[in-house]
Amino acid sequence: MSISVAVAVLAIIAVVVTVAILRGRGTPHIDSGTASPTPATTATGQPSTTPLVVYLGNSFVGGSAQDSGPQDRFPALISSDLNTNWIAITSGGSGYVDPGDDGLTFDDLAGEVPENASLVVIMGSDDDAGYPAAKIMDAALTTLQTIRQRAPQAQVLVISTPWVSADPPAGILTSRDAVSDAAHFDNLPYIDPIADGWWVTGPPEQIGDDGLHPTDLGHAQMAERLEPVIRQLLGQ
């Protein structure tokens, strides 16, 4: 690359970064993986089509310092068992309404969903706990519409936020109920981790030292709970 071209590229990057800062927005965190092994053809000689599962959410999906990294989080674990490709599009602290650490809401994350997604799994959000139910539901409906526009053929699985105690704060329950209402309004499959006792019925080691985020064990338990549902939605 010549010096003049390098300077031009750096100038473009600087403009993009500046615009992002002025808008108060960053970029989502994206992890991905492919099914292995993936046959090139099926038994009938037709090209194989490996499902792509997209996961959206905050750090409950994208991970934290409490786990060992993307390969030990529930999207990768489910992918390994079901032989799917996967993408996790996340932003810490974000929600349907709350812009989080990067100035991104779930609707912003939904704008990154690829057209060829087979299934979109969206989880959250505890970070919306301070907002009114009507605002959360409205934002959730907007996000679900964006997902359908981005990937018209994809199924959508809605999961409200997990929580670490059997007696969640009122705001967490408000967020849970608003997300549930949005999912049922759109007639979408829905999972309630609080009602199902995801993080309160297992060993304490499933939650890290910060008292909030799942460890490798916590992610493994989430994968165990979600895998049968995802398998069924993919028709496997």
| 11: in domain | no
Domain count along the chain: 1
Instruction: Give CB contacts under 8 A, 24+ apart, made by 179-186.
Output: 179/96, 179/124, 179/125, 179/136, 179/137, 179/140, 181/133, 181/137, 182/136, 182/137, 182/140, 182/141, 182/144, 182/158, 183/140, 183/144, 183/158, 185/137, 185/141, 186/141, 186/144, 186/156
What are the tens digits of pLDDT across the range 19-63? 344 446 799 999 999 886 555 444 444 445 899 999 999 999 999
- pLDDT band of residue 78 (cuts 50, 70, 90) is very high
- Catalytic residue, from 2, 4, 36, 210: name it: 210
pLDDT of residue 1: 45
Catalytic residue among 59, 94, 118, 180: 59
Amino acid 7: pLDDT: 39
Helix/strand/coil (H/E/C) assignment for every residue in 58-127: CHHHHCCCCCCCHHHCHHHHHHHHHCCEEEEEECCCCCCCCCCCCCCCHHHHHCCCCCCCCEEEEECCHH
Condensed to tens digits (0 to 9), the pLDDT of residues 191-232 reads 999 999 998 887 889 999 999 999 999 999 999 999 999 999
CA–CA separation, 53 and 128 (whole Å) = 25
Q: Does a structural domain hold residue 97?
A: yes
**Partners of 32 in beta bridges:** 87
Q: Is 213 a catalytic residue?
A: yes
Which of 29, 90, 74, 78 is CA-nearest to residue 52? 78
- Domain presence at residue 41: yes
Of 153, 171, 156, 229, nearest to 196 (Cα)? Answer: 229
Could you tell me the residue range of the domain that residue 198 belongs to? Answer: 28-233
Evaluate whether residue 8 is within a structural domain: no
Q: Is residue 3 part of a domain?
A: no
Whether residue 59 lies in the annotated active site: yes
Query: Is 22 part of a structural domain of the chain?
Result: no
- What's this model's pTM, rounded to 2 decimal places? 0.85
Is residue 23 situated within a structural domain? no
| Residue 162 resides in a domain | yes
Q: What single DSSP character describes residue 47? A: B
> What does the pLDDT read at residue 20?
44
pLDDT digit string, tens, across residues 80-124: 999 999 999 999 999 999 999 999 999 999 999 999 999 999 999
Res. 14: pLDDT tops 60: no
Q: What is the pLDDT of residues 150-198, one digit of tens each?
A: 999 999 999 999 999 989 999 999 999 999 999 999 999 999 999 999 9
Rounded distance between C-alpha atoms, residue 203 and residue 189, angstroms: 28
List the CATH number of the domain containing 35.
3.40.50.1110
Catalytic entry in 98, 128, 213, 216: 213
